[in-house]
């Protein structure tokens, strides 16, 4: 079988781009409020995705039903999670945030059972339990409380992870739309919904180079270009192939956190990430023999 250099190159780019998301958020937060970061990020992504949509001959949603579904997707998968994540990262290291986000497939498994009524095997439940134990260990609520800290930033990021997982369920339930059509509608609605909360602090911020670069990279690359690149790679290969990105993102995010922000990757974080990955590997779908 011929090695697909383009597909693996696109996969590597996704790891680099999405792994840098959390560092970009940290940089942007040095000069912008959390909601300003959310609005700037989604507005830039909206411009990129809508432009690609029209450039490729696709369309925007054109019925009330399509707009309703894409609006729901935009709120549950973008506006609310992005807001929670930006606020949480004011105090939670980017490497820890990336590890939380790596648990999205575990919550997808749970919601597939609750909402879609899919049958879940015992093996998958074991995987979910192991992965969830990793999440709890990563949050280390006992230590945070003992030190007089707050669990709210950690809970905010976990809720963001849950929202993104619910977004996957919404995509499976919504009408059959072209991905660019669905993403365009979702970004338009989520940007407009967040605008009243973030436009004033965004326009009133004192702009300096580091946070501005962080916001531009976050909106154009991590949110806009990455979504288009993800679509291209899935169409060229498969969703399973692209899912490998989720296993590699926390590693690159941790490297960037140490390099840019002098974060420390603790043994507890490594153990937590290992538990999450073991849970994902246990719960993954196995190929059936032909």
| Runs of H (alpha helix) within 102-140 | 104-114, 122-139
User: How far is it, in rounded angstroms, from Cα 176 to Cα 185?
Assistant: 14
Position 78 scores a pLDDT of 92
Backbone phi and psi for residue 6, each to the nearest 5 degrees, phi listed first: -65, -45
| Runs of H (alpha helix) within 56-121 | 64-74, 80-88, 94-101, 104-114
Render pLDDT for 218-246 as a digit per residue (tens, 0 to 9): 999 988 888 788 777 877 776 556 766 76
pLDDT of 217 above 80? yes
204 versus 284: the higher-pLDDT residue is: 204
Position 69 scores a pLDDT of 95
Position 239 scores a pLDDT of 56
In this prediction, residue 284 has a pLDDT band, given cuts at 50, 70 and 90, of low
Q: Would you say 19 and 252 are in contact if contact means Cβ atoms under 8 Å apart?
A: yes
Q: Would you say 257 and 20 are in contact if contact means Cβ atoms under 8 Å apart?
A: no
Render pLDDT for 155-165 as a digit per residue (tens, 0 to 9): 999 999 999 88
Position 286 scores a pLDDT of 59
Q: What is the CB neighbour count within 10 angstroms for residue 181?
A: 18
203 versus 220: the higher-pLDDT residue is: 220
Position 288 scores a pLDDT of 47
**What's the distance, CA 235 to chain centroid?**
20
3-state secondary structure of 174: coil
pLDDT of 289 above 60? no
Backbone phi and psi for residue 91, each to the nearest 5 degrees, phi listed first: -130, -10
Backbone phi and psi for residue 42, each to the nearest 5 degrees, phi listed first: -75, -35
Render pLDDT for 132-156 as a digit per residue (tens, 0 to 9): 888 777 767 677 767 777 888 989 9
Position 6 scores a pLDDT of 87
Length of the chain: 290
What is the percent of the chain with per-residue pLDDT over 70, rounded to a whole number? 92
Position 247 scores a pLDDT of 65
Q: Would you say 211 and 27 are in contact if contact means Cβ atoms under 8 Å apart?
A: yes
Q: For the ranges 28-42, 139-153, 266-280, which has the lowest average pLDDT?
A: 139-153
pLDDT of 186 above 90? yes
**What's the distance, CA 46 to chain centroid?**
16
The 8-class DSSP code of residue 238 comes to -
Q: What is the CB neighbour count within 10 angstroms for residue 96?
A: 29
In this prediction, residue 57 has a pLDDT band, given cuts at 50, 70 and 90, of very high
In this prediction, residue 290 has a pLDDT band, given cuts at 50, 70 and 90, of very low
Burial class (CB in 10 A: 0-12, 13-18, 19+), 193: middle
Position 249 scores a pLDDT of 76
Render pLDDT for 67-119 as a digit per residue (tens, 0 to 9): 999 999 999 989 999 999 999 988 888 777 877 887 787 788 788 888 888 78
In this prediction, residue 287 has a pLDDT band, given cuts at 50, 70 and 90, of low
User: How far is it, in rounded angstroms, from Cα 179 to Cα 228?
Assistant: 9
């Amino acid at each position: 079988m011929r090695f697909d250099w383009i597909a693996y190159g696109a996969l590597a780019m996704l790891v680099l781009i999405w792994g840098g998301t959390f560092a970009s958020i940290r940089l942007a937060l040095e000069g912008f409020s959390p909601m300003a970061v959310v609005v700037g990020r989604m507005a830039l992504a909206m411009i990129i995705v809508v432009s690609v949509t029209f450039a490729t001959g696709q369309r925007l949603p054109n019925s009330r039903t399509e707009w309703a579904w894409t609006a729901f997707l935009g709120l549950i998968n973008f506006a609310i999670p992005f807001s929670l994540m930006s606020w949480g990262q004011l105090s939670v290291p980017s490497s820890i945030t990336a590890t939380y986000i790596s648990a999205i497939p575990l919550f997808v498994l749970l919601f597939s059972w609750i909402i879609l009524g899919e049958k879940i095997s015992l093996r998958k439940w074991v995987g979910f339990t192991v992965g969830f134990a990793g999440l709890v260990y990563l949050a280390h609520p006992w230590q945070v409380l003992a030190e007089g800290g707050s669990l709210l930033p950690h809970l905010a990021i976990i809720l963001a992870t849950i929202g993104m997982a619910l977004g996957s369920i919404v995509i499976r339930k919504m009408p059959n739309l072209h991905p660019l059509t669905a993403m365009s509608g979702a970004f338009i609605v989520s940007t407009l919904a967040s605008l009243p909360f973030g436009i004033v602090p965004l326009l009133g911020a004192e702009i300096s180079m580091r946070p501005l670069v962080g916001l531009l990279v976050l909106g154009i690359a991590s949110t806009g270009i990455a979504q288009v690149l993800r679509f291209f790679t899935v169409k060229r290969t498969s969703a399973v192939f692209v899912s490998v990105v989720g296993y590699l993102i926390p590693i690159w995010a941790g490297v960037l956190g140490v390099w840019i922000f002098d974060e420390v990757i603790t043994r507890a974080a490594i153990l937590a990430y290992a538990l999450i990955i073991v849970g994902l590997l246990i719960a993954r779908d196995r190929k059936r023999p032909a």
